[in-house]
Structure 1
């Protein structure tokens, strides 16, 4: 079987390509040049978009003994990932750029081109497993598991995917790379958004969207508590960096409850107001049986898992949580898992539109209605991991 190995220049994709060759596949390596100007993207072994990464990938291919090419996909990456990232923040949602890159670039554009060139599948270094039944499962290394950012893949795409690393820990992958003589064995993982050179997401968005001062208001009284310079710099659940000028009467900290782009307002309140027990989502990709189904759901990359009952109908997914969750952000993915002794199975995913609370005492952000408060908004760089953080490694 002819396979195309996507080689980012990191240790995961190098070992994945080597294992594919050992398994008897006819392997060709390809590095995706994703930066319009590589000098403006990360350097120093930081990700998948630099000249250094391209050279590391080429050296790895030479050691493995496979043909190697570089594909320039910078324009499509900018349109489908970078522009989408900015537009989503402007619309008050939290994009996950690594998820979008997997969906639009690695398993759409790259796979389509690979099939057109006569390849049968694409190999990547993602830490996830495909069982003999073709179902996507978590990696054995739960700390490195990337099934969350792969759950957006369709059945057709999964049928043409190969993930050789899902049965290994990251430590085992590094040890194997050293044994194979791969220079990337000790190369650091990428943990940041690859197209933000300095890691300053707030500054990047400000340059793209401009400063837009607005009010920070109290969810219960409606009083203006402070000012912001751009609502995109805040996230649901954020506590630090709010610069509120009016302390809470009870002295407790306030948290961001919602972002309203239409009025350019950030709404804050006590921690208990963050709790939601229902999550709604759109554009579901569902591999499981008929719903409703009892399962576990993950609401953000590397986030906690919550038991829920999930229903998919009419192009929408609804998850009723058994225990309340906090910090649910529109634009992130909700991924449903079925616990399984052989590794949790991905049932499907969808894009979160809102987190809702059935607590009638919780006021809706920006609304006089208390029922069904939506507490979803854009992610920030201040208090929580950047959207997609840590998901780039292994591509």
Structure 2
């Protein structure tokens, strides 16, 4: 081998090595980008005939939808079932949650999804066949969507009463499942309790037990937020004293931004009046600072960043509102396959860019294929019979 050939060969090896060094981090970065949990640009339920089931990691949303299965050759069975939307690719699959039977209880009151999409919480009903509001509440469960592990949670004090008095949410850092529920003493006195459980250990903390008004749940980057009348309370279940903030009007929802400074809340002048959005860079600047919207706000769904809060007002539409400039931009999340109720979104994922989801499968009725096969067989048999009748018999 000549010197020139040897130099050329070594040069090619060096170039290949440099290309490999550069390409590997680039590929890793691309993979990280693909796998970063995010919300989809539209929320789809699985196709009613879809057979995809299971958990593949963090979820962007959970919901309820009608599922169809074949019954024999031509029959059809329908049921109301839970589904989850992957936070990786927006693919929707049916979920099998232990102890959850098919019933007609509202999704939002019985289930919760953590802000990071890793945990699902739900109420355990003693008798799913009982009428809504009359079934006893056994406790709660929380599932890790990464490992599939399920932890059963029970109230630390008295047993809860009817399940329709319960409401679930997660703390902003996804560390605690929070339940608001009623308990009844032996004398029949009813108390409203607010309890937080550490999702990893199951340790419980009773944040409040009172016989006054039922609290509403808010949100913050950490700790638990709840509302009574015009006062917003905040506390870290693990440590720290309760903080209280008095605001004008009847507060319906309240939320701190990811930087823990900007603040938004929904309030009305009276307990049954229409709510209005108020927001600012601090809780002091937000107090009484109205942000006009073309529609009546229903909930604070999350934050896009430290300045933009997401306000929900319909089943599948939200508004991005800049708390400084008051600029508003609408986002339509309606998908190709609509769920039965408004889905529950992983509110912490609003901070990531939205991405287009995988097109849902399982929308075609498989019985049509069976009909075609059966029709083809009938046609073949008919042709066979006609041919045998026309065939001359041998003498």
TM tier, shorter chain?
under 0.3
Task: Give the structure with the larger helix fraction.
Answer: 1
TM-score (structure 1 length as normaliser):
0.24
Task: Give the structure with the larger strand fraction.
Answer: 2
Bigger Cα Rg: 2
